[in-house]
Every structure is written in structure tokens, then in C-alpha cells.
Amino acid sequence: MTNTINSHQNLNVKNITSLFEEVQNRYINKLISIDEKKITTNERNKQKIVIYESYVKDLSTQTRLLLQSLEELEKEAKQRVGLLENKLKKANASLQHYHSLSDLNKTTNNFETEKWKLVHETLDLKQDLDSLTSFINIAKRTGKWDTDRLQLKTLPLDSIFGITKDDTHISNPLHKEIQYRDERIQVLQAEIEYLRKMQNDLSKQTLNLNSSTSENELKGQNIILTKKVDDLRSKFAEECQKAETYKMDIRLKSNQLKELQQELNLKKTYYEGHINDLSTKLKTISDRHQETTTILNNELAVKNQQVEQLTQQIEQVINEKISFENERNDLERQCRVKDSMTADLESQIRNLERQLIVNNHLIIPIESTVSKIDYEKLDQELNLTRKRLDGIMTEIKTKDALNSKLEQDLHLLKIFHDEQLEQHIQIAASDVEQLRTEIRTLKNLCEEKADE
């Protein structure tokens, strides 16, 4: 019966292990499918965080189910045959839950892999930030955006210029407008020089004109030329003012670009520090979990040896008890047979004595008859049997005391196992909660970065 119970327990352990592996493989396949999708890094990180949160929730649910199944197994074990088998079964059932350590190790390895991926993505982001910095500096020097030399690893050019296109659309027309104004100014200056030359030529010609040209006409021409010169000068002043306005706008845009660059550097420093802090925390949690796992594995090996020794002792005591009980039953049966034979002989002796007394005959000594000899032999055998029975009863009491002691030791061992299991579950729950907090923090950071 003990072998049957052990086989059922092994079957349950295999089913639980296969279930854990199936759940883990399902989440690994989900992560692989996300990596194969053609989506942005932020979207990929968000989907991975959602999968990690779901995986942590499944682990918590499985832990609760394991605890519930442990309670049900303990209740069912109490209804089994024999108190010693029940205690041993509950101890084995409690040891089954240590197999969840392998699943926690796999989860830790997955988080470690994800951490290295985040580190590589951070390095790519650093390189992209350096490329953008040099790109902005070149744009400041040359006054134009040279996108052909800009190469990014983590972000496409459209996502960058989707934000800065407004600035480029503003700065490029400004440069064109300034260039146009400069050309207009040069044209107006050339016209002014041309008009001055014409005015000088006209003044010279007026000196050589005959009396047919009246002074009134000359004055009218001079007034017209003066108005044209004044108009050209006012236009020139307006164009200069517009040019100054455009230059001021360019300086403002340059200052805005500098501020954006400084803000980008600050955010870059902040995210790098935060990622380093998260990496340090994750490494600390992994090291602590690994140390706890090693300690628990060592304690588990020692407790398994103790349980095996106690199990062997219990089986030996049970076998001895069964043999003693069988021998006691045989002796009791022999005693009952001999007691019945003794009672028959005593009844016959009493009948013979009564007959002798009634018939006034002498009582024949019983010692000289064969029946008396048989009676003494039976009496001696009965005494020996009773002594042997007393010795067997003493040994049975000794074995019962030893059984009680072994049961008490097994009970204490079970209590110790339960305490160790509860402590391990609490540590695992705290680690899971801390990992959830870190995942929520990373998720918030990704959302803030996506919003920016």
C-alpha cells in the first residue's frame, strides 16, 4: 500500500512539473513571437512587460493552488491506513513543493536575459544620442540638416523628424527669405546708384541746356527724383528691419535647439542612472535568491536523508511488531488450548475424588497415575508459555514506546518542514512582489518616454 501511495505521489509530481514546463514554454513562445514582430522598441517593451506581469500572476496562482493541494493531501492522508503512513505521506507531500525552486530559477534566468537585452538597447540609445548630438552641431554650423549621414539603430528617421520637421520648415523659409531680401537690397542699392548717376547726369545736362528748358520743369523732375529716392530708402529700411527680425528668429530657434539638447542630455543621464540602479537591484535580488536556493537545497538533501532513515526504522519496527503480534496470537491460542485441557483434567480429578469419597475408598495418589504426570507437564508448559508471553508483551511495549518516539520525531520533522516551506514561500512571494514593483516602474518609464 505504501508503494501505491508513493507511485501516486510521483505521478502528481510529474504532472505538476510538466504543467510548469508547459506554462513556461508558452510564455517563452510569446516572447519569441514579440521579438519577431516588426514593431517599435517601446511597443515591444510594453508587450514584454505585460507578458512578464501575466507570468508573475500565473506563478502566484500556481503557488496558491499548490498550497491548497497540500492542504487537501494532508486531509486525505489522515484517512489512510495507519498513523505512521499518514505522517510519512504528508512529509513527502510537503517535500514535493520544493520542485518549484527550479521554476523560480528559470524565471530569474529569464529576467537576467531581459536585463542584458535592456543593457544592449541602452548602449544603442547612447550611440543614437551621440549621433543626434553631432548631427545638431553640424546643422548649427552649416545651417542645414544633413540627414544622409545620420544613422540610427533604435529609431527610424521619420520618428525623429516627425518632431523637428516644424523647426526645419521654419528655418529653411527664413534662410530663403533672408537670401531673397539680401538680393532685393542689392538690387535697390544698384537702382539708387543708378538714379544718383542719372541725377548727376541730369544736373550736368541742365547746365548745358538752352534757355528753352524752364526752371519749373527742372524743379518738377528734381522733386520726382527725390520722391523716388525717398521711397527706395524707406523700402530699404523696411527690408533691413525684416532682415533683423528674421535674424532674431534664427537666434531664438538656435537657443531653443540648445535647450532641447540640454534637456535631452539631462534625460539621458537620468535614464542611464535609473537603469543602472534597476540593474543593481535586480542583480542583488538574483544573488539573494540564488543563495537562498542553495541553502534550501542543502537543507532539503539533509532532511531527505533523515526521512529515509526514519522511514526504514519505521518499516523495520512495523515488521517486528507484526511478527511479534503473530507469535503472541499463536501463544495465546496454545494457552487457551492448554487451559481447556487443564480444566478438563481438573474436572476429571474432582469427579474421581467425589466417586472415591462416596464409595468409601482410599484416595489413590494422583502423582502415581499417568493423568497426574500429564497434568504436571501441561502445567509446566503453561507456565513456560505464560513467561514467554510476558516477555513478548514486554518487547511489544518496548517497540510501542519506540514507535511513539519515532512518531514524535517524525511529527517534529514535519513541523520543521512546514516552517521551512512557509518561510521559502514568503521569501518567494516577497521576491515576486519586488519584481512586480520593478516591472511597474519600467512600464511607467517606458510610458513616460513614449509620451515624450
Tell me, yes or no, whether 124 and 53 share the same domain.
yes
Tell me, yes or no, whether 8 and 136 share the same domain.
yes
Sort 367 into a burial class: Cβ within 10 Å, 0-12 / 13-18 / 19+: exposed
Per-residue model confidence (pLDDT) at position 115? 58
Total-model pTM: 0.27
- Residue 282 near residue 438, CB atoms below 8 Å: yes
- Residue 9 near residue 90, CB atoms below 8 Å: no
Tens-of-pLDDT digits for all 452 residues of the chain? 444 444 444 445 455 566 667 777 787 888 788 888 888 888 877 787 887 777 777 777 776 776 676 667 666 655 665 566 655 556 565 555 445 445 545 555 555 666 566 666 667 766 766 776 776 777 667 766 666 666 766 666 655 555 444 444 444 555 565 566 566 666 666 666 666 666 566 566 555 554 444 556 656 666 776 676 677 667 666 766 766 776 676 677 777 778 887 888 887 788 778 777 777 777 777 677 678 777 877 877 787 787 777 777 777 777 877 877 787 777 778 777 777 777 776 777 777 767 767 765 444 444 444 466 776 777 777 778 778 777 777 877 787 777 777 778 777 877 777 787 777 777 777 777 777 777 777 777 767 766 76
Angle between helices 215-358 and 370-451 (to 10 degrees): 170
Is 129 within the bounds of a domain?
Answer: yes
How many angstroms separate the CA atoms of 255 and 169, rounded?
Answer: 17
Cell of 379: 502445567
Tell me, yes or no, whether 218 and 128 share the same domain.
no
How many angstroms separate the CA atoms of 216 and 324, rounded?
Answer: 158
- Residue 153 near residue 128, CB atoms below 8 Å: yes
Q: Which of 212, 244, 265 marks a domain boundary?
A: 265
- Residue 378 near residue 338, CB atoms below 8 Å: yes
Per-residue model confidence (pLDDT) at position 164? 46
- Residue 45 near residue 446, CB atoms below 8 Å: yes
How many angstroms separate the CA atoms of 334 and 378, rounded?
Answer: 11
Which residues 6+ apart lie within 8 Å of 436 measured at CB? 53, 56
Tell me, yes or no, whether 140 and 163 share the same domain.
no
Total structural domains in the chain? 2
Is 111 within the bounds of a domain?
Answer: yes
- Residue 397 near residue 329, CB atoms below 8 Å: no
How many angstroms separate the CA atoms of 253 and 255, rounded?
Answer: 5
Backbone angles phi, psi at 143, to 5 degrees: 80, 15
Tell me, yes or no, whether 141 and 167 share the same domain.
no
In which domain, by residue range, is 187 found?
157-265
How many angstroms separate the CA atoms of 190 and 183, rounded?
Answer: 11
Is 296 within the bounds of a domain?
Answer: yes
Per-residue model confidence (pLDDT) at position 296? 75
Cell of 5: 501511495
